Structure 1
Amino acid sequence: MKNGKISESILKRSVLKQLHTKSDRVTLKSAVGEDCAVIGSETHAMSADASIVTCTQSFTLDVTDKNVRAKCAVYAALNNIYAAGALPIGIEMALLIPTTENEANLRETVRVIDAVCEEAGIVVLGGHTQVSRAVKNIIVNITAIGEADEACLTPSSAVRPGMDIIVTGYVGLEGTAILANECKEKLTTRFSTAFVNKSAAYIDVISTAKEAASAVGAGAAAIHDASEGGIFGALWDMAEASKVGLDIDLKKIPIKQDTIEISEFFDINPYKLLSGGSLIIAAMDGNRIVREIEKTGQNAVIVGVATGSNDRVLIQGDERRFLETAQTDEIYKVFNS
């Protein structure tokens, strides 16, 4: 199989179809386009209207910068908790360490993960750490646990025809930051050091806490984290979860010039590049969502509308083409080369 996130067809036939256990305690399970599970309020001792929300994510890229590894790993999970309409409480972390690593690198990795959690206002609840010959670089698995008012849940499957589709932040930003951090020597053969350093600093703005909270407060129906597979993959996953069509204006999707230029350098598609830091939001009143998000100093743009058909369409001027099913993230083309 290809490196990276497995395809939708493999996920459906070899993972989801093999899971037959059910529980009345679980009100929402992970599925295509749904990255969180929800445990209803009747099953725990919290308030009557509160639900537990959980999400597990892995960061497997062989990066050298421990800050990049920690931020990408932790926020990959936290951003899904935010997108579900929940507030995170803490994380469980599982680390797989290759035999070639030393204790100093392990200590620094854990220290940086804890620092990221402090930045996010959460705690490390526990986890597991193991050295294994089966891995060649440090693998970080994060399970984030949060709490949400049941009335505020915003699952990806809640999109309905006629709703505005909003994209927050800038797509491809996480991938841009990783490439700028890990490939500085290559990039400075074309770009200035200042340009590369500015792009590398985007790793510090991949949290979506403010945007998600504003959207939930303004009446968003559904929110989806745009991460692996980029904005194209995220749009497909959200539409698939809700069984709706999409009309998306490609020119309206917010993207930084840095991302375009770095993607051109590596000959990759910026719209299929890791997009942590960006959310897709569906709401009947998209303008209200945009206004509320902009009050926090964050960026948000209405890029299209959900439709009642099965067609997921990208519009660029007079050209209309169909959105493809979620593909392997473009960043692996660089790391595998």
Structure 2
Amino acid sequence: MRIGKLKADELEKYIFKRTGYKDPDVLIGSSIGEDAAIIKIFDDKVLVAHTDPITGSLDLIGFLSVVIPSNDVAVRGVRPRWMLTTIFLPPDAEESEIDRMTSQIHETANMFNISIVGGHTEYTDAVKRPVIISTAIGIGRVDKIITSGRAKPGEKILMTKTVGIEGTAILARDFKEILIKKGVDKEIIEKASSYYKKISVTEEALKLAEEDLVSSMHDPTEGGLLAGLSELAYASKVSITIYEDKIPISVETKIISKAFDIDPLTMLSSGALIASVKKGFEEKALKVLREIGVEASIIGEVEDRKDYLVKIVSRSGERILRDVYIEDPVIKLFNIFIK
């Protein structure tokens, strides 16, 4: 049984070649590594839109259904303003679940000044637990748009916050009892439960774009940091080398990932924005982010394309990634334990 995204060759074969009419106003459409569609609507304006399903969370599902697609619009350098939300409920879903999810959606949308302008809701036996699919939309200037496909050799790779933020929050909240049985301290679980507050990258992405400090940005979600870097390298037709000892990882993420014997570099990592910084602007980028309360690190560099997408250098040696697809252990755990 397969869980997770389609692989690159499947996307190329079955999805990207079957996108309907080729509208000349679609500047960027479906492609690997690009976070959101960019559509020209006026000479100097574009509409930016992205759809994301939330399938690997219960406790945070409403919150994530707003924040995750919003991140993908924000890394284009555009503020998300509107959202369409579809909610699928299993036949036995309680009204209290609907109340909890829609309260989260409403409160989170208010927090980010986003209007929910439509969508769909239904009970269906096609799902065994709630699934929310949201489309975030924003409008920006065509000359200020950032993409994932413009990273250039010689640029440094910047990452904000710490790795595995989203996965840590989900595991702490939806797998709390399992973690306790595995001997994880309740204080660690409690602290990790609050990590959801770090998942949005909207403000840091908009700040980096506003200051014109980056060539590309990407929001690493399923497959974690390594999948995000692989997608950025694929989209930009470059290779990326990162240094494991430069990647910040929190104590809570280390403990929780160790408890489940999973690699924190491959677990859901929304909240840890990755970007290629324009040459000579590394220190300014770090400073600008610190000024808005966001810590960031330089974790590697962009190189000319080689026979791999990403190389991870550690004390024990090197690891090479040639495929953009990386299985996410949090999604896998969710489908094993959460019925």
Taking structure 2 as the reference length, the TM-score comes to 0.93
**Structure 1 residue 151, shift from structure 2 partner:** 2.0
1:270 aligns with 264
Equivalent of 2:62 in 60, 63, 70: 70
**Structure 1 residue 318, shift from structure 2 partner:** 7.0
> Residue 206 of structure 2 aligns to a residue in which SS?
helix
Equivalent of 1:55 in 50, 54, 63: 50
Equivalent of 1:191 in 179, 184, 189: 184
Q: Kindly provide the CA deviation profile for residues 122-155 of structure 1, in whole angstroms up to 9, marking residues without a partner as x.
A: 1111111111111111110000001112222110
1:15 aligns with 15
Q: Distance in 1 between matches of 2:67 and 2:21?
A: 29
1:335 aligns with 334
Residues 108 and 336 of structure 1: CA distance in aligned 2, closer, same or farther (over 3 Å): closer
1:295 aligns with 291
**Structure 1 residue 110, shift from structure 2 partner:** 1.5
Q: Kindly provide the CA deviation profile for residues 3-32 of structure 1, in whole angstroms up to 9, marking residues without a partner as x.
A: 122222222222112225311111111210
Q: Kindly provide the CA deviation profile for residues 270-299 of structure 1, in whole angstroms up to 9, marking residues without a partner as x.
A: 100000111111122222211111111101
Question: Aligned partner of 1:13: which letter?
Answer: K
- Structure 1 residues 178-187 or 102-111, which shifts more? 102-111
Taking structure 1 as the reference length, the TM-score comes to 0.93
Equivalent of 1:313 in 306, 311, 314: 311
Q: Does 1:234 align with 2:232?
A: no
**Structure 1 residue 324, shift from structure 2 partner:** 4.4
Q: Distance in 2 between matches of 1:258 and 1:21?
A: 48
1:122 aligns with 114
**Structure 1 residue 332, shift from structure 2 partner:** 2.4
> Residue 93 of structure 1 aligns to a residue in which SS?
strand
**Structure 1 residue 222, shift from structure 2 partner:** 0.6
Checking the alignment, whether the CA contact within 8 Å between 1:32 and 1:237 is kept in structure 2 is yes
Question: Aligned partner of 1:302: which letter?
Answer: I
Question: Aligned partner of 2:82: which letter?
Answer: G
Equivalent of 1:182 in 170, 174, 178: 174
Runs of 5+ consecutive residues of structure 2 not aligned to the other structure: none
Question: Aligned partner of 2:311: which letter?
Answer: V
Q: Distance in 1 between matches of 2:152 and 2:112?
A: 32
> Residue 141 of structure 1 aligns to a residue in which SS?
strand
Question: Aligned partner of 1:4: which letter?
Answer: G
Question: Aligned partner of 2:11: which letter?
Answer: L
2:300 aligns with 304
Checking the alignment, whether the CA contact within 8 Å between 1:5 and 1:329 is kept in structure 2 is no
Residues 293 and 78 of structure 1: CA distance in aligned 2, closer, same or farther (over 3 Å): same
1:322 aligns with 320
Q: Distance in 1 between matches of 2:144 and 2:283?
A: 19
1:286 aligns with 282
**Structure 1 residue 323, shift from structure 2 partner:** 2.2
Q: Distance in 1 between matches of 2:69 and 2:130?
A: 17
Checking the alignment, whether the CA contact within 8 Å between 2:184 and 2:256 is kept in structure 1 is no
**Structure 1 residue 102, shift from structure 2 partner:** 3.0
2:158 aligns with 166
Q: CA RMSD in A?
A: 1.5
> Residue 186 of structure 1 aligns to a residue in which SS?
helix
Q: Kindly provide the CA deviation profile for residues 27-62 of structure 1, in whole angstroms up to 9, marking residues without a partner as x.
A: 1112100120011132xxxxx522110000000125
Checking the alignment, whether the CA contact within 8 Å between 2:45 and 2:141 is kept in structure 1 is yes
Q: Does 1:218 align with 2:178?
A: no
Question: Aligned partner of 1:323: which letter?
Answer: L
- Structure 1 residues 308-317 or 75-84, which shifts more? 308-317
2:28 aligns with 28
> Residue 87 of structure 2 aligns to a residue in which SS?
strand
Runs of 5+ consecutive residues of structure 1 not aligned to the other structure: 43-47
Q: Distance in 2 between matches of 1:92 and 1:309?
A: 38
**Structure 1 residue 200, shift from structure 2 partner:** 0.6
Q: Distance in 2 between matches of 1:62 and 1:215?
A: 29
Q: Distance in 2 between matches of 1:299 and 1:119?
A: 21
Q: Distance in 2 between matches of 1:242 and 1:77?
A: 22
**Structure 1 residue 244, shift from structure 2 partner:** 0.3
- Structure 1 residues 141-150 or 209-218, which shifts more? 209-218
Q: Distance in 2 between matches of 1:332 and 1:156?
A: 24
**Structure 1 residue 74, shift from structure 2 partner:** 1.5
Q: Kindly provide the CA deviation profile for residues 237-270 of structure 1, in whole angstroms up to 9, marking residues without a partner as x.
A: 0000010011111111121121111111001111
Q: Distance in 1 between matches of 2:61 and 2:139?
A: 25
2:4 aligns with 4
**Percent of counterpart pairs with the same letter?**
30
Question: Aligned partner of 1:204: which letter?
Answer: K
Residues 87 and 194 of structure 1: CA distance in aligned 2, closer, same or farther (over 3 Å): same
Q: Distance in 1 between matches of 2:101 and 2:166?
A: 19
Q: Kindly provide the CA deviation profile for residues 109-130 of structure 1, in whole angstroms up to 9, marking residues without a partner as x.
A: 2222111101111111111111
